[in-house]
Chain A
């Protein structure tokens, strides 16, 4: 019995360690003071109003959403196509491609940033939406390939034979059998892609410009100048969106599974 109490206690401590520091930004965002203090002495929405009133903050949020949205679409399409292609390869090519697609995940991000910065400069793309989307897609693509690959691994191939035997052509089989059955993987991968892009900061610092800047980059710049609850508001917005994305993915995969 006491063993069980210890176990629960340990789990609770670990959970607190993981979650509490993150959750601390939320009360900070509702502070009435002009500096961050936990817990705040007084509560207000003044920093939310300030955030909404500030065109530059708003613009970075919109940019972040645009970049993440486009990254999600590009990564989901390209990643699904890649996973389908890898799936058709022989075992050795599969291994090779699997390793290649994992490349961006294991490479230190700063290395990618340096490399991409050089290329973006040469192409005159620094400070553009295109550069950010292309760079984020690089990081997001592996997650889609992985997720879709897992879904494909669990796909009963005889279903495809059955569809072909019933007269369906390759495109119809893909549309009516393959895609619905790997949808959980595609959705899961897409959510990963969105979150990866939305909170990406290293590549974004290198590739953002004065007009095109993502929210995390703005937070980073802001915090170096002054540490106001405005930053906490931005962080809370990001946290909410990330949780929402996880929830959506959870619901969608659950629905696809039933």
Chain B
């Protein structure tokens, strides 16, 4: 378990700047997720941490030691690859034992630790199997066991659940979370899946265009996104564009063409009066309200305990509302409202 510190770490591939100078501190035992679309620089950052990629600039400090130039094998990091990268010519146990053999762990201890690692990922008794004989989920867990058994200073995971189906992904997410809580270990997890990020992380760094746009807990990002990009990336969002009318005491008022009343909400940083901005209203904040804004129901989507409604406001704007099935009004027209406390006024995402 270790602290990790990226100091001005950057990387370009020829003229392409994959990662702009980035500072990032990860305290001991934290599970940090790098969340972003492809090309956002998240995997680049991870590979630099693992030592698979040299940064063009900056320093990487692990436990106060500069490891920027250290080769991967001297970094003591456990990596779980996207498609697992298990050694196909070795059994499950041989795969897990690989890092221990490299470390010359005595035989008895080695087999004890391999067994324990397999037990931890619920693959007891699978040691003798060939990798081919395992399902995707099982292979994923072998990869996890192989990375963890060496007691790495840092555990790195590169979209490890990408190849699994949805149900399995959920299970393994909780499994990884459980393992982390049982034994907190500094971990960096790369994904483009917001749900994964929310389930597992202590903190999430949202990346875009080679830089970290926002970093914070899941709740921070969901409730107080810094711009429309983060708002869109985490959770469902209704964004209504307008112009900032006034900013005062951390709150802003947004004039929206077609709406009779301005929308008021928490002001994000970087707003300016007169500038274009968007109001973020999460679908779960939109509810029926007598005397509210009139809207027509265009679409009803049944999602089990939740029903989503697509609404067209009289001004022409469309929003989604998500309510428990019991709370959804019938009829083609409803009046809606929302808490001003649930609204954020956000600047547009910077062009990439």
Contact = CB atoms under 8 A, between A and B. Distances in A.
Contacts of B150: 166-167
Interface string B72-100: 11111111010101111100000000110
B71 interface: yes
Query: How big is chain B's contact interface, by range?
Result: 20 to 34
Contacts of A168: 73, 98, 102
B52 interface: yes
A29 to B, nearest CB: 42
A165 B74 CA distance: 8
Interface in A118-161: 156, 158-159, 161
A163 interface: yes
A22 interface: no
Nearest to B80: A162
A164 interface: yes
Contacts of B88: 159, 181
A177 B50 contact: no
B103 interface: yes
B102 A161 contact: no
A169 interface: yes
A158 B98 contact: no
A180 interface: yes
A158 B83 contact: yes
B52 A161 contact: yes
Interface in B106-163: 146, 150
Contact of A165 (B78, B83, B86): B78
B102 A167 contact: yes
Nearest to B75: A165
A177 B103 contact: no
Interface in A35-49: none
Interface of A: 156, 158-159, 161-169, 172, 176-177, 180-181, 256
- When A and B form their complex, which 8 residue pairs have the shortest distance between CB atoms, in order from nearest? A166-B99, A158-B85, A167-B102, A162-B85, A165-B79, A164-B72, A180-B89, A167-B73
5 contacts: A156-B85, A159-B87, A159-B88, A161-B72, A164-B52
